Amino acid sequence: MKALYYIKTTLKGMFANGVVTIATFILFPILLACFMAFFHHLDDENPLKLKALNVQIVDEDNTENSKRLVELLGSDDLKEVVNIVDKKPDVELIIKEGYEKNVLSLNKGDIIINKKVEGMGMSTDTLKVILDRYHQSLYVSIAGGDMGNLNRIMESSIVEDITIDTLKTNNPYEKISASMIGFVITILIYTMIHGGYADISVNLDKRINATPITKLQYLFYETMALIVYVFIIISGYVIFFRVAGLSFKGNILDLILLILMGTMLVVSMSKSISTIFGAKYGKIIGTIIFTLPLISGEIFSGEGNKIALLTPTHYLNNAFNLYNLNGNLEGCGKWILIIFAMSIIIYSAAIIKAVIQGRKKVCA
């Protein structure tokens, strides 16, 4: 009954401050995520901006003519359009075996472009035009005055096919909305540690009941109330993007599980830090936890530096990104396990601290 009363009074307090709660934990992150995703989308799709295309060349013919083509693409004249790379290409250009034979016979060449990333359409089309113009000029020099062959060649394309062989990636809204969950979580952890939602809104020390309770009971009651509170906050953020059709569109049960993982992470970290370290040092640690994801850059870009590995939000972000990518929990198992183990270990430390403090009573 005490636990039910505590949850009830906590939720009443939450709804009493509904405007502030929604604005801080749901509306602001949503607006920030939409703003950043919109400009990421504009940057990716800007038709007036030609980006250098990272090209990995696979020369299966390995002849004099194929090597000349490779040299052309790697020349300084094309460096603003084509960047030759050995890994992580935007496109893979395959010069098929028999290329030189086809060129010398004035037949259509055997070049395939495999797109490895989404987007970059204008740059890929530009590469195709460069290849066509180069080979048309080459054919002119080989054909001499044979106008019949030249007309036939001019009407065809040297690039036999442009295939889509992309690794599926999240669009800007899916990517940023998933990473911004880390922002929601860090705000929640920071807020819980710096005063604790329940202590402020419910005045637990005066209102829980007239019967003394132990430190351990106090910890459990707070935990149950905060689980409900945090679950509602994270769900509100996620549901907005799902209803809007922008993100989190996969299996609903899998999504609920991820929200529960996020809830577990927030509650275990905030309550453990405040229980173990107290207000003075807990606030310092809370500030560090809030700052690290910002320094890592992962929250606002979806991709972080090495500091991201030290942040608790990194593993949850990965899980939500994979969910957006696959529509289910495929590939999420490792991250869910890490989050679950981290939460259990941290919260167990808080329980041990509460037990060590003994049967000391907390009275209303």
Which pLDDT does position 136 carry in this prediction?
Answer: 75
Distance of CA 319 to the CA centre of its chain: 9
Residue 295 domain-assigned (yes or no):
yes
Q: Are 339 and 276 within one domain?
A: yes
- Identify the domain containing residue 297 by its residue range: 2-41+170-362
Q: In total, how many domains does the chain have?
A: 2
Q: Which residues does 162 contact at the CB level (< 8 Å), separation at least 6?
A: 112, 113, 115, 124, 128
Q: Which residues does 352 contact at the CB level (< 8 Å), separation at least 6?
A: none
Residue 80's CATH number:
3.40.1710.10
Residue 46 domain-assigned (yes or no):
no
Q: Which residues does 217 contact at the CB level (< 8 Å), separation at least 6?
A: 2, 362
Residue 48 domain-assigned (yes or no):
no
Q: Are 93 and 149 within one domain?
A: yes
Which pLDDT does position 310 carry in this prediction?
Answer: 77
Which pLDDT does position 17 carry in this prediction?
Answer: 66
Which pLDDT does position 7 carry in this prediction?
Answer: 67
CA pair distance 196, 233, nearest whole angstrom: 15
Strand arrangement of the beta sheet that strand 53-59 belongs to = 82-84, 53-59, 91-95, 111-115, 159-164
Whether the CB-CB separation of 182 and 314 falls below 8 Å is answered with yes
3-state secondary structure of 168: coil
**Looking at 164, 189, 212, which one is the last position of a domain?**
164
pLDDT, tens digit only, all 364 positions of the chain: 566 766 676 666 666 666 667 777 777 788 877 777 666 655 555 544 567 788 888 888 888 888 888 888 888 878 778 888 888 788 888 888 888 888 777 676 678 888 777 666 777 778 888 887 787 777 777 766 555 555 555 555 555 554 545 455 567 788 888 888 888 888 888 888 876 544 444 454 455 444 566 778 778 888 888 888 889 899 999 999 899 888 898 899 999 999 999 999 999 998 888 888 876 777 888 888 878 877 776 776 666 667 777 788 888 888 998 898 888 998 889 999 999 999 999 999 989 888 887 555 544 4
**Looking at 115, 131, 164, which one is the last position of a domain?**
164
CA pair distance 346, 350, nearest whole angstrom: 7
Residue 59 domain-assigned (yes or no):
yes
Q: Are 20 and 75 within one domain?
A: no
Give per-residue pLDDT as tens, 104-135: 776 766 788 887 776 667 777 788 888 877 87
Q: Are 301 and 250 within one domain?
A: yes
Q: Are 342 and 216 within one domain?
A: yes
Q: Are 155 and 292 within one domain?
A: no
CA pair distance 115, 219, nearest whole angstrom: 54
Which pLDDT does position 168 carry in this prediction?
Answer: 56
Q: Are 330 and 289 within one domain?
A: yes
**Looking at 110, 134, 164, which one is the last position of a domain?**
164
Which pLDDT does position 202 carry in this prediction?
Answer: 42
Which pLDDT does position 255 carry in this prediction?
Answer: 93
